Amino acid sequence: MSHVARMDLGGVSVDVICDAVADHPRPLADAFPGAPAAGWEAVREQFPQTVGADGRWRFGTHVLLVRTDAACVLVDAGVGPAGSAAAGWLQVAGTLDEDLGALGLTPEDVDLVVLTHLHQDHVGWLVAPGTGRPRFARARHVVSGAEWASVQGDARPAHVRDTLGPVEAAGQLDVDGSLVAGMRLLPLPGHTPGHAGVLVEGDQRRLLFGGDAFNHPLQLADPGVPSLADRDRAQAIATRRELLARAESLTVLGAHLPGAFWPGHG
């Protein structure tokens, strides 16, 4: 399965699933404004898989499947199927359904869905196509209170209404809810007001899925490089610097950082 990489944290298994790889509509230099030209030359040499057609930013969208003795947890819900909002602007559909099936799972096996934030490419699989019903029919869906508050009233985008609306109507939305033993939300604001990472602790290792705190390897070398999509750039930079200071004791993954589990880049 080229879409999946497995990690064993000790009593907790984590499958990192690449839902889709796409070229961003904007060139790399526009997506990450202010980066020095020399930095992009190094990127092209060290991370050629992040350079797409016409110099555009090529990125994967990753979700986690965390399995403990007590629960099966999905972290983020990816791009989604053809017809989803993210699949439209990225011009590629996700493969999460296929990947779950290859792991011997169905959406009904998922007990909990945790959302790092509510951008289109993180909520795409929440609703079953053609039904208007939650795809993960048995699962609680957890999002931070700050993130949920930021999309209320006139601030609610259409894609949030279309994906989280059915989840809320079904009584499956748990704002600021607890996760499961060995997992917790970690506030990582800046990319969005309530952006959060998910800390997963096993008997032997700890992993932090940082969502969109880091979007490109260049930001690991220079956390001061902003992302165009960061709502509060100063806060996002501060968050990245704080994360780097803690990274020695953690395995840190990002929703869009490249990895060996990218199809065709293993």
229-252 pLDDT, tens digit each: 999 999 999 999 999 888 777 888
Q: Which residues contact 162 (CB under 8 A, 6 or more apart)?
A: 85, 127
Report angle CA 206, 245, 196 to the nearest 5 degrees: 60
96 belongs to a structural domain: yes
In a domain? residue 211 = yes
Residue 41 lies in a domain: no
Residue 124 in any domain: the answer is: yes
Output the pLDDT for position 68.
95
Q: Is residue 68 part of a domain?
A: yes
Residue 135 to residue 197: CA distance in whole angstroms: 23
Which has the minimum average pLDDT: 40-54, 119-133, 198-212, 220-234?
Answer: 40-54
Residue 32 in any domain: the answer is no
Kindly state whether residue 200 falls inside one of the protein's structural domains: yes
Full domain range(s) for residue 111: 4-18+59-253
Could you tell me the CATH number of the domain that includes residue 192? Answer: 3.60.15.10
Give the ranges where 153-204 is alpha helix by DSSP (H).
Answer: 158-169
Cα 258 to Cα 255: distance, rounded to the nearest angstrom: 9
Q: With cut-offs at 50, 70 and 90, classify the pLDDT of residue 264.
A: very low
Q: Where are the beta strands (DSSP E) in the chain?
A: 4-8, 13-27, 56-67, 72-75, 112-114, 127-128, 133-134, 140-143, 173-175, 183-187, 196-201, 206-209, 251-253
Number of compact structural domains in the chain = 1
Q: What is the mean pLDDT of the chain?
A: 91
∠122-75-265 over CA atoms, to 5°?
75
pLDDT digits 0-9 by tens, 160-185: 999 999 999 999 999 999 999 999 99
Tell me if residue 143 falls in helix, strand or coil.
Answer: strand
pLDDT at 1 over 50: no
**Arithmetic mean of pLDDT, 91-102:** 94
27 is a domain residue? no
Q: Which of 224, 215, 202 is nearest to 253 (CA)?
A: 215
